[in-house]
Chains A and B, each alone.
Chain A
Amino acid sequence: MAAWVTGTSALTCVGGNADALWRAAEQGVSGLKNGLGMIPDSVIEQSRAEFRENPAFAKTKLPESRSKELALIAFEQALRSAGWSGLNENDGLILATTTGQIPVWDKALTSYLRKTLSKEEFIAAFEHQPLGNLLSSLSEATGFSGRQLLISSACSASTQALAIASMWLEQGLVERCIVGGIEVLCDLTVQGFSCLQLLSQQASKPFDAYRSGINLAEGAAFLCLEKQSSERSQARLTGYGMTSDGYHMTAPHPEGKGCFLAMKSALNVADIELDQIDWIHAHGTGSTHNDQAEAAAIRTLYADQGVVLPWVSSSKWVHGHALGASGIVESVLCIEALKRQTILKTHGLETPDPSLALKHPNSNMKAPLRHILKNTLGFGGTNAALVWSQT
């Protein structure tokens, strides 16, 4: 199986498109401020201007909700990148998010409970509570009524969305598919992760012996997938694996059992051998639990196989952790890496944790890149892995 990527978009704290994301990752520029990765207003303003230049969206009003606006802007950017004029009835649309539009309704909810907000105002805000409201809004704004889905599987959501899109194409359910991940920052997630003592005030240091925690971030990215290769093809999605730990609500299995099984499954679907993987783009959040579990899973995958470990790195020091959107934001980096045949180092990594026993590149490296394994691990023991391959 293979799904061919013909278009990409990426709005992150380091810029408004895939190229800006790549440049930041290559040059070691972090977009994190006070430990968080907000998409800067200047990036959104520039992206709005580009959106308005597209005649196909000339009459489309950008929504007030930050999530909806970012979704629509990133959607249009990916379509433009792929040369698609719009979606047809036989196309598919899959969104991934965990927070949805929480900032639109969370304060209204508490105000209503305190009786400082009228029912009418509360109901108006609460319409945004279901995650599906984000998807229906995007569908309505783009006039799309074909096959659609919203996945909310924590930090593996958009990785799973790409896997499902691949299945839709493979099973002939859609002709083409656009997949997006959207995440915005809000008090609920920041305070929540903070009370779990997971957040770092500095940029994260994945796989470092002196790691400091994770950085929450915003992100909006889309990929356009097609069944056939074309002049616009940038990379191929050749493998996917989805598993569960069945272990803990917020911690991964300590031996990375589910993560190992997801990677193994992705390699099987891609029908490639371990020695064909040139780089593992890790989930690498910079939390102790994640680093240990993911490293254990990678070691298990390569144990007794007579194959040297490939390079392993994380890019979260650059763009932070965009939760449900992280898989697709980082897949954009994988696609750019395949185009440029370049392996990225882990910025922020100064003293590799010796207990992890992974192989980290000390600098960005030009190297033949055939296949990249992309991991995500999520709360609830939700794991997903993808194999990205060169065209």
Chain B
Amino acid sequence: MSKIYIVSAQVTEDPQNFLQEPRYRKATRAMVMANRSVEKTLEGLPREVVLQNCGFILGSCHGELEVTMNFLKTMSETGVARPILFQNSLHNSTTGFVSMSLKSNGPLLTVSNLHFTGEDALESAVCLLKSNSCDFCIVTTVEARVPELVEGLQETKLRSQYVGEGSGTVLLCNEKGLATLDRKPLAELMSVRCIRGAKENFVESTNYYESNAVERLALSLQANDRDLKLIKPDGSYSQIQWR
């Protein structure tokens, strides 16, 4: 099996700084965050080389919750279903939006699996790269906080669920992809393991969100760490290793 490399990794900035830009006039908060983390990850790389045969996988636990809420709210209040709200409410609409900006024709997947959403996105990318379905793969996770729901959901058993937000992106490639780049990778991705049913101690954090694995991986790479253990609210955990 071919080796998998991490070429680049970044996290998003505050989406408020970008929401007014014309290119984002039809975009949701999640779309802006995802797009910004992807753009930052691709900065300084030969875009045409990377995107020649590049997959894109987006992971999100809640999807476009804010727009879904607005669609339902508008429909119940006015009886009118608005097309722009509907198209943006789909779980994979962020994927479609980023894909349009990439203008790539590679595999395009949206995955969602509660607290393992990020890990699943990474594992799916590894799978695509090993099967040579693409030579590069952009993996992005995103979660957007919905202010109207935060108050209600804060009283759930774990306050941090549902209320954190963020987006991270890593660019992975296989050996064939790496050979086309005139640069060293950040690391070789060794493994992504999900241990379900474990009983580790979860430390609550207001920055936590279900699909945060990719953002945390990007930050760990920037901090020159060599592995990442992410404990989930139910005590399950994942371990991502690189060298």
Residues of B contacting A109 with CB < 8 Å? 68-69, 72
Chain B contacts with A in 54-111, Cβ cutoff 8 A? 55-56, 61-63, 65, 68-69, 71-73, 75-76, 80-83, 86-93, 95-97, 99-100, 102-111
From B61, B106, B153, contact of A130 by CB (8 A)? B61
Query: B87 contacts A250, CB within 8 Å?
Result: yes
From B95, B105, B124, contact of A380 by CB (8 A)? B95
Stretch touching chain A among B35-43, B128-136, B168-176, B220-228 = B128-136
Residues of A contacting B124 with CB < 8 Å? 149, 164
Given contacts A132-B117, A191-B75, A246-B100, contact A153 B89 (CB under 8 A): no
User: What is the CA–CA distance of A157 and B91 in the complex, to the nearest angstrom?
Assistant: 11
Residues of B contacting A114 with CB < 8 Å? 76
Counting chain A residues whose Cβ lies within 8 A of the other chain, the interface size class is 35 or more
Distance of B65 from chain A, by nearest CB (Å): 7
Query: A249 contacts B96, CB within 8 Å?
Result: yes
Instruction: Say yes or no: is A122 at the interface (Cβ < 8 Å to chain B).
Output: yes
* Complex interface bits, A233-246 against B, C-beta within 8 A gives 1, otherwise 0: 00000000011111
Chain A contacts with B in 161-214, Cβ cutoff 8 A? 164, 167-168, 170-171, 173, 187-188, 191-196
Residues of A contacting B103 with CB < 8 Å? 246
Instruction: Say yes or no: is B215 at the interface (Cβ < 8 Å to chain A).
Output: no
Instruction: Say yes or no: is B155 at the interface (Cβ < 8 Å to chain A).
Output: yes
Residues of A contacting B95 with CB < 8 Å? 153, 380, 382
Chain B residues proximal to chain A, CB less than 8 Å: 1, 55-56, 61-63, 65, 68-69, 71-73, 75-76, 80-83, 86-93, 95-97, 99-100, 102-114, 116-117, 120, 123-124, 127-128, 130-131, 133, 148-149, 152-153, 155-156, 196-197, 210
Instruction: Say yes or no: is A135 at the interface (Cβ < 8 Å to chain B).
Output: yes
User: What is the CA–CA distance of A258 and B108 in the complex, to the nearest angstrom?
Assistant: 11
Query: A188 contacts B72, CB within 8 Å?
Result: yes
Query: A261 contacts B86, CB within 8 Å?
Result: no
Distance of A144 from chain B, by nearest CB (Å): 10
Query: B72 contacts A379, CB within 8 Å?
Result: no
Given contacts A244-B106, A380-B108, A381-B99, contact A167 B127 (CB under 8 A): yes
Distance of A151 from chain B, by nearest CB (Å): 6
User: What is the CA–CA distance of A379 and B62 in the complex, to the nearest angstrom?
Assistant: 18
Query: A380 contacts B93, CB within 8 Å?
Result: yes
List 27 contacting pairs A-B, 8 Å CB cutoff, sorted by A: A109-B69, A110-B76, A112-B152, A123-B156, A130-B61, A131-B91, A132-B112, A135-B113, A145-B197, A150-B120, A153-B108, A154-B110, A192-B86, A195-B80, A195-B83, A242-B55, A243-B105, A246-B100, A246-B102, A246-B105, A249-B93, A378-B92, A379-B87, A381-B100, A382-B92, A382-B95, A382-B108
Chain A residues proximal to chain B, CB less than 8 Å: 98, 100, 106, 109-110, 112-114, 119, 122-123, 126, 129-133, 135-136, 145, 148-154, 157, 160, 164, 167-168, 170-171, 173, 187-188, 191-196, 242-250, 257-258, 261, 265, 378-382
Distance of B88 from chain A, by nearest CB (Å): 8
> Which residue from chain B places its CB closest to the CB of A118 in the assembled complex?
B152
From B113, B130, B131, contact of A148 by CB (8 A)? B113
Given contacts A243-B108, A248-B100, contact A164 B93 (CB under 8 A): no
Residues of B contacting A261 with CB < 8 Å? 105
Distance of B158 from chain A, by nearest CB (Å): 11
Residues of A contacting B114 with CB < 8 Å? 130, 132-133, 135-136
User: What is the CA–CA distance of A157 and B120 in the complex, to the nearest angstrom?
Assistant: 15
Query: B69 contacts A244, CB within 8 Å?
Result: no
Query: A247 contacts B210, CB within 8 Å?
Result: no
Query: B131 contacts A171, CB within 8 Å?
Result: yes
Residues of A contacting B56 with CB < 8 Å? 244
In the complex, number of A-B residue pairs with CB atoms less than 8 Å apart: 183
Query: A379 contacts B92, CB within 8 Å?
Result: yes
Query: B111 contacts A194, CB within 8 Å?
Result: no
> Which residue from chain A places its CB closest to the CB of B65 in the assembled complex?
A129
User: What is the CA–CA distance of A171 and B109 in the complex, to the nearest angstrom?
Assistant: 19
From B61, B71, B73, B113, contact of A113 by CB (8 A)? B73
> Which residue from chain B places its CB closest to the CB of A265 in the assembled complex?
B133
Given contacts A151-B111, A153-B92, A382-B92, contact A122 B152 (CB under 8 A): yes
Query: B62 contacts A130, CB within 8 Å?
Result: yes
Query: A132 contacts B87, CB within 8 Å?
Result: no
User: What is the CA–CA distance of A231 and B64 in the complex, to the nearest angstrom?
Assistant: 45
User: What is the CA–CA distance of A122 and B89 in the complex, to the nearest angstrom?
Assistant: 20
Distance of A261 from chain B, by nearest CB (Å): 6
From A168, A196, A245, contact of B86 by CB (8 A)? A196
From A122, A130, A381, contact of B108 by CB (8 A)? A381
Given contacts A171-B127, A249-B87, contact A192 B152 (CB under 8 A): no
Distance of A64 from chain B, by nearest CB (Å): 20
Query: B92 contacts A154, CB within 8 Å?
Result: yes
> Which residue from chain B places its CB closest to the CB of A113 in the assembled complex?
B73
Residues of B contacting A129 with CB < 8 Å? 62, 65
User: What is the CA–CA distance of A126 and B151 in the complex, to the nearest angstrom?
Assistant: 13
Distance of A71 from chain B, by nearest CB (Å): 15
Query: B72 contacts A106, CB within 8 Å?
Result: yes
